[in-house]
């Protein structure tokens, strides 16, 4: 009798152990269940949007080459330099005056593509909310910001080129990293409010869980801000931006209006992850290396191309500001070729922030459903090579699979809840707020 009781006890404990150890759901099946809730016509529309975007990247690159060719072959760039130097001399101010002309001229020549890409196409796919007037206002504000920041950055670069000789690209890289740090510092307080209105998020049911996650993960922020992105589009977004005294947690009103609290927490956990994992500093180092490689690429090829075409274009050497269109062509070619590398780096960081957010917010289903919303303008199920080469974020499928794997392992480990009964949770379509 005692032996039978002992065997029965062993069997009961063994069954219990198996129930605890086995994942409560099948991640692949759960992922397919989520993806199946998206209507076929919605998938087709988002696929068409992203696939058209691939071609636009190529068209944008070729368009930029065409703009540079116009400026150089007509000697318009050389005449712009002469006009600036007659008024200020060949110095920093003269370079800045040329840069102002260059930015305005390229803005005007490139404007037709900008209108199609940023206004017509966005409205065609139902992603934009602005009429042309407010949209144009934002373009002009962006142009003004570009004139100030671009004028400073390019003028400083040409100081390095003229003073440092062949080693200019090293000094230019160091200056570029300092400049990027400065931009990160001023964006939340001085640049972002030029496009949107920021105000404190006063709903404690939303702000307190976010601040709790922030405090738990070392984010030195005491407030959460919301901004009116709905005036421009219906996309959901959020960020933890700035550093030191400009650190700010922000989320847009689309996220607040379109998403549940679990979805909001999952998004903010991801954004807090970028800060906690030090991605801003990693980005400075990575893009500093990218910048250095680009400047070295320009330095290596400009002399050869200048020797062949310089007289025709009216430029003398790399220190001649009129050669900026050629510098831009070489650098954009370098960045175009480096697209898969840059995309893979960014996608890796985004995946790290995803898993951090799952552990911080503990909202796998919220993360899955918000990934479906992001799928309105991101392809949910790209091919493997397509995702590796062309995606700068994990695909919707990859993100949902990550969330469902996390959920399965948490349930299987006994940490998620006391009920370890295997079950597949299939999401129901949620009615959006009007």
308-365 tens-digit pLDDT? 898 999 998 899 999 999 999 999 999 999 999 999 999 999 999 999 999 999 999 9
Per-residue three-class SS string for 316-384 = CCCCCHHHHHHHHHHHHHHHHHCHHHHHHHHHHHHHHHHHHHHHHHCCHHHHHHHHHHHCCCCCCCCCH
Predicted local distance difference test score (pLDDT) of residue 307: 86
Confidence at 230, pLDDT banded by 50, 70, 90: very high
The pLDDT > 90 percentage for the chain reads 76
Average pLDDT, the chain: 88
pLDDT tens by residue, 156-179: 999 999 888 888 999 999 999 999
pLDDT digits (tens, 9 = 90+) for 241-269: 887 778 899 999 999 999 999 999 999 99
Q: Is the pLDDT of residue 379 over 90?
A: yes
Measured CA to CA, the distance from residue 50 to residue 423 in angstroms comes to 34
Residue 234 is classified by DSSP as S
Q: State residue 424's pLDDT score.
A: 40
Q: Can you tell me the distance from the alpha carbon of 139 to that of 143, in angstroms, rounded to the nearest whole number?
A: 6
As a whole-number percent, the residues of the chain with pLDDT over 70 amount to 89
Pairing of strands 238-241, 198-200: unpaired
Residues facing residue 248 across a β-bridge: 241
pLDDT in tens, 272-292: 999 999 999 999 999 999 999
Considering the entire predicted model, what is its pTM?
Answer: 0.86
pLDDT of residue 189: 87
Residue 25 confidence (pLDDT): 84
Q: What is the pLDDT of residues 132-163, one digit of tens each?
A: 999 999 999 999 999 999 999 999 999 999 88
**Closest CA relative to residue 233, chosen from 136, 118, 392:** 118
3 state DSSP class of 130: coil
Q: What is the pLDDT of residue 413?
A: 61
**Angle at which helices 364-374 and 396-413 pack, to 10 degrees?**
170
């Amino acid at each position: 009798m005692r032996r039978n009781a002992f065997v029965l006890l062993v069997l009961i404990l063994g069954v219990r152990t198996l129930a605890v150890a086995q994942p409560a759901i099948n991640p692949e099946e759960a992922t397919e269940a989520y993806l199946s809730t998206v209507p076929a016509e919605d998938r087709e529309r988002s696929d068409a949007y992203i696939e058209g975007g691939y071609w636009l990247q190529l068209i944008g690159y070729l368009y930029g080459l065409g703009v540079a060719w116009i400026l150089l072959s007509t000697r318009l760039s050389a005449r712009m330099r002469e006009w600036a130097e007659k008024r200020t001399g060949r110095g920093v101010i003269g370079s800045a005056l040329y840069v102002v002309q260059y930015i305005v001229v390229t803005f005007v020549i490139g404007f037709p593509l900008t209108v199609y890409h940023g206004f017509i196409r966005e409205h065609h796919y139902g992603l934009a909310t602005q009429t042309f007037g407010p949209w144009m206002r934002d373009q002009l504000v962006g142009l003004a910001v570009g004139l100030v920041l671009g004028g400073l950055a390019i003028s400083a670069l040409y100081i390095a080129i003229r003073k440092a000789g062949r080693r200019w690209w090293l000094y230019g890289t160091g200056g570029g990293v300092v400049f990027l740090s400065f931009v990160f510092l001023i964006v939340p307080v001085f640049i972002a409010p030029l496009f949107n209105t920021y105000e404190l998020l006063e709903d404690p049911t939303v702000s307190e869980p976010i601040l709790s996650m922030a405090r738990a993960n070392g984010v030195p922020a005491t407030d959460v801000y919301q901004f009116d992105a709905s005036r421009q589009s219906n996309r959901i977004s959020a960020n933890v931006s700035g550093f030191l005294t400009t650190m700010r947690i922000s989320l847009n009103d689309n996220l607040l209006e379109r998403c549940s609290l679990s979805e909001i927490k999952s998004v903010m956990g991801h954004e807090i992850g970028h800060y906690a994992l030090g991605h801003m500093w990693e980005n400075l180092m990575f893009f500093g290396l990218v910048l250095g490689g680009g400047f070295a690429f320009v330095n290596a090829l400009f002399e050869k191309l200048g020797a062949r075409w310089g007289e025709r274009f009216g430029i003398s050497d790399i220190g001649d500001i009129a050669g900026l269109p050629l510098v831009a062509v070489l650098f954009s070619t370098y960045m175009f070729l480096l697209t898969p590398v840059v995309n893979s780096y960014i996608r890796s960081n985004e995946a790290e922030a995803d898993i951090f957010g799952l552990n911080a917010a503990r909202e796998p289903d919220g993360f899955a459903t918000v990934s479906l919303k992001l799928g309105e303008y991101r392809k949910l199920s790209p091919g493997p090579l397509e995702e590796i080469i062309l995606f700068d974020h994990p695909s919707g499928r990859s993100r949902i699979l990550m969330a469902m794997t996390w959920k399965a392992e948490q349930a299987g480990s006994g940490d998620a809840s006391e009920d370890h009964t295997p079950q597949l949770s299939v999401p129901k379509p949620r009615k959006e707020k009007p």
